[in-house]
Structure 1
């Protein structure tokens, strides 16, 4: 009984195996549709795709359905195991009973991708008669499996949309606009629900920031007909047409900053002439059609690609325009006012344009201009009359240029100027004369990060309203100051280096027949770096005509070399009481034509060697009333045969080295009155004795005179030795009374010790 039971189980297993063998064999014989002979369907869902496996009588098909954005196709290799009967093909017939299985039609729908799988009804024949089948030979074929391929599909483009999030702030009801419109299509409506008791007519403000729209949709003003302010910024807009603003009849403020417009077409604002404030800042504007702007009061075209500011942009005139901003373009000349154009401007910003020069008259008709900005314009200098006509100017900003100084009277015609900002330039000095009467109204001066090493003390003394003085990053000061009545003197002490360093050389000229310069100087620190003698020549005169310089005022520790450098034909320099301390060779380097040099009542204590070496034509040298203590052998070297008169009166001279006067071969007059000499030695003079006509040494401490000196000074005619120890007298007509004078000097001769 048990054997029969196991035999039945074995027969059933063999029948099931043979059923699949024959099924696979049939699959090889048919090449029809894959939908034939369907047996069943298995669907498997994974995290990012769905696999449907359908088994047919002759094949197995796997269908993979993907998530819409990223599709990963996984190849499931199909391994077909075909078992062949060695020699015969067995066909099974239905002897008496036929069982037919039908698979109904199945439709599978996914949220994004819809796939319909239709399985036709196919009868399947099952044969109950099972003939004896020999053991089959099994061959397994493994096809080459390609590596999985991942395909990333771009997401489906988001449909265009425009939507309002309405808000209410105090008296303003507005719309925060959300817009996706990369292709620039027009819309029929704007979605979004109003706040309670609010309607389209109540919307006064529409703002779109960091959106994406190619154009300015006309639906905005069609829907919100009372709109006052429209702002579409940083939203990649590049196209606008007349229709964009056709219904914006009540619009007053339009801000399209931060987009990519290259052109403002003609008549685009024809139907929106109530706009008063408009901004196209940070676009790419190159072209603006004529008559584009109607009655604007403020216009901002900063940071575009414009090369000029054209009056023809403005319909009829621009009298209403009060504020114009065009920084960061490619404009090379200043906006000029004309009849009906820009004459009412109050604020003008032309910073960051390659202007380079301001011509006289550029601002001639802008009498109402209050604020002018010319930062980073590559300006190298300001001409005297550059700001003429700006009578109302209150604030001037010229930061980040290459300006070295302010000309005299630069700001004299701006009586209301209260703020000057000139940071990051190359200014070396602040001169009170640049400001004139404006100093009394000046409140703020910003000159940080320059090369400033001096400030005119008169500037600080006369700017009583000055409250802000920024000097950070300069040579003489590295601080910023806020000044009030309580700390003004402290600030003065802290900027003392700047005040002491202030230097200038100025001339008041007179013409024919004098051709003279009455000079004032200031140079307390002794830096010989002044480049120009300032001043205006009278008609018919120039630097080459000047023959005499008389330093009548001011203080300078040196004789500025610029004097002879500028006046090459100069013949005389006279300076009295100017505090000159040092004599330098550079001071006289270009004074070859000088005949007379008088430095009287100064503070000179030393005559350096060869300091007068360039004065080959000098005839008269006066260093009277200084603090000279000695004369070395080379102090007067270079003066040469042209020298006739030497005045060294009222010094502290107590020592003269041998040969000190030797080079003065044609000297006629030497005066050493009121010094501290103790003797007159022939070795001082050398060859100078031959032509000496006058020698004066009154009020010294002379207690001995070299008789050789007297005997060899054969042309001596005047000898003044009053107030000395060995002699107290003055002698004239010495040549004719030599014996008498010699007898009067005998006591001095006797006391002389070489």
Structure 2
């Protein structure tokens, strides 16, 4: 196919079939050497409607139109890698509900319209690596309810809408490496209950929000190397019993919460080129012990972190309080914030005369106290005259 200007509108496809074969028998379409066209003539899918695989890579394509593949109803595999695509029409794949794999790697996309992937309900893999977009529409992936792998590697993404991944309930692998993310949103991961592998290497991430990964309980591997992290809190991860591989190399980490090792199954840890330690450990019989030994300085630094200051707001007053290291407002985890870690002044000031912040009440529990006993003590303290200044 040779149509470098894109001006010629092909209306038919001619050629010779193997003996006894017709257009209806064609399943695989691949261009000849030196094929060159800026668009995909609809005549191809009009002629070979039973094709299941099309490889149109390295053809210098620029535009994918709404009719380019519409009549290839049985298409399962579409490779558009290594082209010059800058524009894909809304509903460009509307007739391709059987598509399983779509590759758009190494093109020139700076934007993707919201309805480009509409109707791709059976898509398993979507590869958009090495393009030029910095943002994506919030509903661009809404139809992709069966997607397993989403690869957005090597783009210029600096932020994403909070609900952009909300429909990807079957996603197992999410690749966001080599972008320009400075922060993560908890909402991105709330629906990703089947996620097993998460790749966030080579961004500009400075911190991990509380409970950022806690909804993705199937996570096996998290890659966070080459970012700007300085402290690792266990409450960012929650209880990830399946987590086996953790890569945090080439950051600026100087404090690491030991609970993250205790509460996960991590057996491979890449901690190279950090401030409090520089090592990597891969799965072997002594892995867990070796990790603890190598991280002793990081654990010590974490325990010695300056207390974080936060504010507790009530209906009657607002009191500034100081929390011990690891205690985050709204996320007082009993594993990292125990009553014995909190000084008497903090406990006295934690309560107002009549109103106790419900969220703190729910989470502020000592491992050694029964819930009933703690409720009784809270009730007693709540009726004492306030000693707050």
State the TM-score, normalizing by the size of structure 1.
Answer: 0.40
- Counterpart position of 1:408: 210
The alpha-carbon distance between structure 1 residues 312 and 488, as it changes in their structure 2 partners (threshold 3 A), is: closer
Shift of 1:484: 3.8
- Counterpart position of 2:251: 450
In structure 1, how many angstroms separate the alpha carbons of the residues matched to 2:108 and 2:307? 46
CA shift digits 1:538-583 (9 cap, x unpaired): xxxxxxxxxxxxx97559xxxxxxxxxxxxxxxx99599xxxxxxx
Q: Counterpart of 1:423 in 2: which secondary structure?
A: coil
In structure 2, how many angstroms separate the alpha carbons of the residues matched to 1:182 and 1:518? 68
The alpha-carbon distance between structure 1 residues 267 and 360, as it changes in their structure 2 partners (threshold 3 A), is: closer
In structure 2, how many angstroms separate the alpha carbons of the residues matched to 1:514 and 1:264? 58
Shift of 1:181: 9.9
Shift of 1:267: 1.8
Q: How does 1:22-421 map to 2 (within 5 A)?
A: 189=15, 199-200=18-19, 222=23, 225-232=24-31, 235-239=34-38, 240-293=40-93, 294-295=96-97, 296-314=99-117, 317-334=119-136, 336-337=138-139, 341-421=143-223
In structure 2, how many angstroms separate the alpha carbons of the residues matched to 1:574 and 1:349? 50
In structure 2, how many angstroms separate the alpha carbons of the residues matched to 1:256 and 1:235? 12
The correspondence for 1:517, drawn from 317, 321, 333, is 321
Q: How does 1:424-573 map to 2 (within 5 A)?
A: 424-438=226-240, 440-463=241-264, 465-502=265-302, 503=305, 505-506=307-308, 510=312, 511=314, 512-513=316-317, 515-517=319-321, 519-521=323-325, 534-536=328-330, 554=341
The alpha-carbon distance between structure 1 residues 250 and 324, as it changes in their structure 2 partners (threshold 3 A), is: same
In structure 2, how many angstroms separate the alpha carbons of the residues matched to 1:233 and 1:227? 16
- Counterpart position of 2:376: none
The alpha-carbon distance between structure 1 residues 283 and 509, as it changes in their structure 2 partners (threshold 3 A), is: same
Q: Counterpart of 1:493 in 2: which secondary structure?
A: helix
In structure 1, how many angstroms separate the alpha carbons of the residues matched to 2:278 and 2:60? 43
In structure 2, how many angstroms separate the alpha carbons of the residues matched to 1:405 and 1:252? 45
CA shift digits 1:369-396 (9 cap, x unpaired): 2211111220011133332222222211
Asked if structure 2 preserves the Cα contact closer than 8 Å seen for 1:483 and 1:491, the reply is no
State the TM-score, normalizing by the size of structure 2.
Answer: 0.73
Asked if structure 2 preserves the Cα contact closer than 8 Å seen for 1:247 and 1:272, the reply is no
In structure 1, how many angstroms separate the alpha carbons of the residues matched to 2:76 and 2:163? 29
The structure with more radius of gyration: 1
Question: Larger % of strand: which?
Answer: 1
In structure 2, how many angstroms separate the alpha carbons of the residues matched to 1:342 and 1:189? 37
In structure 2, how many angstroms separate the alpha carbons of the residues matched to 1:427 and 1:521? 17
Asked if structure 2 preserves the Cα contact closer than 8 Å seen for 1:519 and 1:553, the reply is no
The gaps in structure 2 that reach 5 residues or longer are: 332-337, 348-389
In structure 2, how many angstroms separate the alpha carbons of the residues matched to 1:305 and 1:454? 41
In structure 2, how many angstroms separate the alpha carbons of the residues matched to 1:181 and 1:356? 37
Asked if structure 1 preserves the Cα contact closer than 8 Å seen for 2:13 and 2:44, the reply is no
In structure 1, how many angstroms separate the alpha carbons of the residues matched to 2:62 and 2:131? 13
RCO higher in 1 or 2 (8 Å CA, sep ≥ 6)?
A: 2
In structure 1, how many angstroms separate the alpha carbons of the residues matched to 2:132 and 2:33? 22
Q: Counterpart of 1:460 in 2: which secondary structure?
A: helix
Any runs of at least 4 consecutive aligned residues in structure 1 with deviations exceeding 3 A, and if so which? 179-191, 199-202, 231-236, 311-314, 334-340, 483-487, 506-514, 551-555, 572-576
In structure 2, how many angstroms separate the alpha carbons of the residues matched to 1:534 and 1:234? 60
Q: Counterpart of 2:29 in 1: which secondary structure?
A: strand
Asked if structure 2 preserves the Cα contact closer than 8 Å seen for 1:419 and 1:442, the reply is yes
Shift of 1:189: 4.4
Identify the range of structure 1 (330-339 vs 491-500) with the bigger mean alpha-carbon deviation. Answer: 330-339
Asked if structure 2 preserves the Cα contact closer than 8 Å seen for 1:349 and 1:372, the reply is yes
The alpha-carbon distance between structure 1 residues 378 and 573, as it changes in their structure 2 partners (threshold 3 A), is: farther
The alpha-carbon distance between structure 1 residues 495 and 234, as it changes in their structure 2 partners (threshold 3 A), is: farther
In structure 1, how many angstroms separate the alpha carbons of the residues matched to 2:169 and 2:292? 36
CA shift digits 1:638-678 (9 cap, x unpaired): xxxxxxxxxxxxxxxxxxxxxxxxxxxxxxxxxxxxxxxxx
In structure 2, how many angstroms separate the alpha carbons of the residues matched to 1:441 and 1:333? 32
The alpha-carbon distance between structure 1 residues 188 and 470, as it changes in their structure 2 partners (threshold 3 A), is: same
In structure 2, how many angstroms separate the alpha carbons of the residues matched to 1:270 and 1:410? 40
Asked if structure 2 preserves the Cα contact closer than 8 Å seen for 1:392 and 1:416, the reply is yes
The alpha-carbon distance between structure 1 residues 504 and 394, as it changes in their structure 2 partners (threshold 3 A), is: farther
- Counterpart position of 1:76: none
Asked if structure 1 preserves the Cα contact closer than 8 Å seen for 2:137 and 2:161, the reply is no
Number of equivalenced pairs? 329
In structure 2, how many angstroms separate the alpha carbons of the residues matched to 1:181 and 1:514? 71
